[in-house]
Amino acid sequence: NTQLTVKPPGEKQKEDYSTKPLTASRHLKKKPSSLPATALLKGGKENLKLVEDNLVKTEDFAEQFLSRQNKKEKNQKSLSSLVLGFHHRLKVQELRNMRNRTYTLKRQNKELYSKFVNETRKHFMDVILKQMDDFFQSVSLSVIKRQSSIKNLFTFSAEEIQKNDNYYDQIHFIKEKIYQPILVTGGQLSSYQMKGLEWTVSLYNNNANGILVDETIQGKTKQTISLICYLIEVKKSSGPFLIIVHPSAISNWKTEFDQWAPGVRKLLYRGPARDRKILAMKFQDENIRYQVVISSYALITMDKSALSQIKWLYTIVDKESFSMNTTLRM
């Protein structure tokens, strides 16, 4: 039988929670662990030991992997050295056989030997001349591309430049009448020095590089200083110019500048690392605005990370820097 209780209106009915299931988590009591404390401690130790074993296995695997990699690299190096040695021995043997054949031919038939030598010499000369022609052609095309990009001072079409087949005329297509700059106050340039200045200015106008060589021992330093003065005075290009020389020639270049162009602001970049840092900060001083930096190849190489941030107008390398070190490359 079901009993129904009716409450008067306005009176709240009380709910009987005794028959309702408890679902809220706060009403649930935490069940006590059925495992004793010794069992829990034992399980933690086993897990820790398992982690340690996995770490050891990982380290062993990494060591084995590195060992295999090192062994593989060593095998590749040995194989490469074996291949290079094999080809070197073949080349040496081929040269030895050729030398023996030439010697035998020379002893047995001098006329045939002379013909062979002439043909060989002609063949090598043809190869060298062909390489020179290819080089000049590639340089000429490069110069034409550079010259066509010069639009502010000169305007020439590529067809006009290509009409001239002479290599020298192609390089020095843009010509300019020069004079000794006023900044050069140490004396009068000689005729051959003016020719050298004209040639270097032509390289500047045609956006080309060059090697300044003449028969005289002295004079190239003055011509270089004159070029810098001409660019500063006439072309309104204040640099900066980087001059790389042998350490023993830095003072000589300073003396030449003091004698021929004392008005050019120059900085001698040398000394220990601490002093060079001060000099680098001094070079960046806008109140001074150095136009020329003179240093050695070794210092330039050591501080290339800092010096490469500067946009140099010209890099001038004294030949003595190369003569002191035959393995030097630019």
Half-sphere exposure of 87 (CA within 13 A, CB side): 5
Task: Tell me the pLDDT tens digit for each residue of 52-94.
Answer: 777 777 888 888 888 888 888 888 887 788 888 888 888 888 8
Q: Work out the pLDDT band at 305, boundaries 50, 70, 90.
A: confident
What is the spatial distance between Cα 257 and Cα 263, in angstroms, rounded to a whole number?
A: 9
Closest of 127, 138, 103 to residue 117, by C-alpha: 103
- pLDDT at position 49: 74
Task: Tell me the pLDDT tens digit for each residue of 317-328.
Answer: 887 655 555 555
Bridge partners of residue 314, in order along the sequence: 241
Burial (CB count <10 Å: 0-12, 13-18, 19+), residue 292: buried
Q: How many CB atoms lie within 10 A of CB 297?
A: 19
- Strands (E) across the chain are located at 241-245, 266-268, 292-296, 314-317
- pLDDT at position 140: 62
Sheet harboring 292-296: ordered strands across? Answer: 266-268, 292-296, 241-245, 314-317
SS3 60: helix
- pLDDT at position 145: 62
Contact 264, 229 (CB under 8 A): yes
Q: How many CB atoms lie within 10 A of CB 144?
A: 18
Lowest mean pLDDT among 143-147, 201-205, 218-222, 262-266: 143-147
Round the average pLDDT of the chain to a whole number and report it: 74
What is the spatial distance between Cα 229 and Cα 180, in angstroms, rounded to a whole number?
A: 9
Six-digit token pair at 287? 């109140």
Task: Tell me the pLDDT tens digit for each residue of 28-55.
Answer: 455 555 545 555 555 566 777 777 777 7
pLDDT > 90: what percent of the chain? 2
- pLDDT at position 42: 55
Instruction: Tell me what the mean pLDDT of segment 17-24 comes to.
Output: 50
Residue 299 has pLDDT above 50, yes or no: yes
Long-range contact set of residues 133-142: C-beta below 8 Å, sequence gap at least 24 = 136/167, 139/167, 139/171, 140/167, 140/170, 140/171
Q: Work out the pLDDT band at 242, boundaries 50, 70, 90.
A: very high
What structural domains does the chain harbor? 174-317 (3.40.50.10810)
Contact 83, 75 (CB under 8 A): no
Instruction: Choose from 158-162, 168-172, 259-263, 287-291 the range with maximum mean pLDDT.
Output: 259-263
C-alpha torsion angle, residues 178, 315, 320, 181 (rounded to 10): 20
Residue 143 has pLDDT above 70, yes or no: no
Task: Tell me the pLDDT tens digit for each residue of 151-183.
Answer: 444 454 555 545 554 555 666 667 778 888 888
